[in-house]
Chains A and B, each alone.
Chain A
Amino acid sequence: MITPDQIAYINARLVDPASGLDTDGALITFGGEIQAVGPDLFPGEGASNVSDQFQVIDCQGHVLCPGLIDMRVFVGEPGAEHKETLATASQAAAAGGVTTIIVMPNTDPVIDDASLVDFIKRRSRDTANVNVYPMAALTKGLEGTHLTEMGLLKEAGAIAFTDGHRSVTSSRLMRQALSYASTFGALVVHHAEEPSLSQDGAMNEGEFASRLGLAGIPAAAETIMVERDVALVELTQGRYHLSQLSCAASLRAIEQAKERGLDITCAVSAHHLALNELDVGEYRTFFKTNPPLRAEEDRQAMVDGLSRGVIDIIVSSHDPQAPENKRLPFADATPGSVGLETLLPVALEHYHNGHVELGNLLRALTYAPAQRLGLPSGRLAPGAPADLVLIDLDKPIIFDASTLKSRSKNTPFDGRKLQGRVLRTVVGGKSVFECESVVSLSGER
């Protein structure tokens, strides 16, 4: 039997944050692209009304939206394949409804040379089942002293430039980076943290860290760097994206910069929307993140910033760590938590509790990162890549870390009650993930 090239997703609730569309209807993919989308493609909307030229997938009223684009994913390939490979990260992404991952250059070797960008692209093409775009290092070896060959790296396929979870401490170099990157219209993505204030710290500075006897990282360590970056963007008129923010004062700095019309965007991680410093509990190292989980007021500020659109993008900050990096005294443990598979349901908490509208929430996970990175995906439009996710918005789940497809299991959400489940993930027109209990949904005739 020949599978038709055209697939019809019928009985869908189409949600397209790019156009504001939220309607019942159908979507047709042809090969790797979306061919048509809308409410009136198949009058009657019954499978029987669809002609035989289509393979039919009945969405049973669930949300069909663009696949998620995760702008901050760490993998262990090359150099730390025991933590995560591009293949395992992509499987985790597919299970989480993420159709595009942007991988960080913090590997061994560091992705700071065109040949290594090419390596990531080829390995992804051969082993990954979602779209993978590498960010290249902003400075050679992530050492913060010399700029990388941005032009050559961009031609090789680097989608943006960052030092991952390292900050560029030299203001002069950061100025040069922003300035030089503008030659190529390249986006500079920065982790804002003043290391002289954060270097000894293990968690958010405050009463709780004091009680645990842990050295703290003050919110000012982030805000100082954000404010510096804003001043440098103003000076250079560069394109800047704050890879992740965690505290209210940084948010105010970003908001003011946006009001001044600077080309600045920012992201927040799903765990900074969901968790606060108290979750560290009795030295639980899976809750050690970088930046650290902050005070509850900061967490609320993040949710507020997202709902008002000051925060543009939600990322997973997926950072797999092996047990030997986590089964240590808290101060010695490596920060980071996996997040690809919890990104969507954790973000959806803020839709379910009424803080953020569904369209706005999904925009921060799809269209906003696509737009910022210049990707054609992230929208339900004819001609756009057929990267889709079918979501059961309301399904209650108790998240179980043992089900993780990621090679590392360092999730802070084990046992958390969440709502929302990915039913199917489609990349380039092909289903790369189907929720086991709904395989029967695919009604092929």
Chain B
Amino acid sequence: MSASHITSPQAADAASFSARNLLGIEGLSLADVLILLDLADTYVDLNRQMEKKRTLLRGRTQINLFFEASTRTQSSFELAGKRLGADVMNMSVGTSSVKKGETLIDTAMTLNAMRPDLLVVRHGASGAVELLSQKVDCAVINAGDGSHEHPTQALLDALTIRRYLGSIAGLRIAICGDILHSRVARSNILLLNILGAQVRIIAPPTLLPPRAERMGVEVFQDMSEGLRGCDVVMMLRLQLERMTGSLIPSTREYFHHYGLDSQKLKYAKPGAKVMHPGPMNRGVEIDSAVADDPEISLIQDQVEMGVAVRMAVLDTLSRNLPNVSSEKAKE
């Protein structure tokens, strides 16, 4: 995954990013991350212009293959591909084809035969996107695999923080809520560590992954302690659909102890920013008064950054695709 030949961030440009796929933050170097974030910055500017269309991916086919329902991530990738000029196809593979007995690998092989250039994949099982990437020739982008990683979400979060708070190094950032099921949390923990932030996670023990303290974070179970001095508070969606057994007694009790309202936000540093990857469970993990306050909330900015980051990822990976002329030369 990593572009190990890059020795200093200064030497970095999009051409230096050597990875074929983006399967996770794990394995990325600081230089890789800065390449993507710097490029994404330019796409933020582009996206704010009237003329947003580029032709960089003209002739390329991008397939968004979603085994799990998604509105915002899928539309964000779709828009990113279209703005760069790619032909974008959305495929939502529900449970139906799984019931017919088609496996993930069968699906991958079928799509591969259609010769896409970029494959954006979301799947409910950890490691599924990596498995699929071993069976196809195109560039694969992980749009979320189980509870493992969601790298573009972490990149867009980092871009959002960087644009509003400047450098990420040295910031104290708390990630709160359902860490156990969250691929967003895992990717963010990795990425924010690469960028030099001091990362905290706050959750009841039942929603913490075992040995979470070994993942480069400080672990807190109490919001008042955990939020103290934090520059950024990232809230996570309570993934009720993934919960088995009794992880929390009720959403009422959860909100009482872990839901972010203006009262609990006072524990954080004055002026602290609030983020949420969406979709939000209002009144469960976050209070509307906080979520909707433009002085506090960066949630809408995250959505905007999402398109730019995904454009940067598509752009960067497409540069490493074999181009048509060299393939013709082989034939």
Contacts and interface: CB of A to CB of B under 8 A. Distances in A.
B186 A211 contact: yes
A329 B104 contact: yes
B211 A207 contact: yes
A297 interface: no
Contacts of A209: 209-210
B323 to A, nearest CB: 29
Contacts of B215: 207, 210-211
Contact of A283 (B105, B130, B147, B186): B130
A168 to B, nearest CB: 22
Contact of A200 (B126, B130, B244): B244
B183 interface: yes
A206 B105 CA distance: 29
A28 B23 CA distance: 62
Interface string B73-87: 000000000000000
Contacts of B214: 207, 210
B148 A213 contact: yes
Interface residues of A, number: 22
Contact of A213 (B103, B104, B131, B183): B183
B93 interface: no
A205 interface: yes
B241 to A, nearest CB: 14
A327 B105 contact: yes
A81 to B, nearest CB: 20
A330 interface: yes
A152 to B, nearest CB: 39
Given A213-B147, A331-B146, A206 B210 contact: yes
Contacts of B125: 329-332
A216 interface: yes
Given A211-B186, A327-B103, A216 B210 contact: yes
Given A212-B126, A214-B126, A329-B127, A324 B210 contact: no
A259 interface: no
Given A206-B211, A210-B210, A210-B211, A282 B127 contact: yes
B123 interface: yes
Interface in A179-229: 200, 205-207, 209-216, 218
A331 B211 CA distance: 20
A255 to B, nearest CB: 26
A435 interface: no
B103 A283 contact: no
B212 interface: yes
B32 interface: no
Given A211-B215, A216-B210, A329 B186 contact: no
Contacts of B212: 210
Contacts of A332: 125
Tell which of B105, B123, B126, B148 has the most Cβ of chain A within 10 Å.
B126
* Smallest CB-CB A-B distances: 3 pairs: A213-B148, A329-B125, A283-B127
Interface of A: 200, 205-207, 209-216, 218, 282-283, 324, 327-332
7 contacts: A212-B126, A212-B148, A213-B126, A213-B183, A214-B127, A214-B148, A328-B103
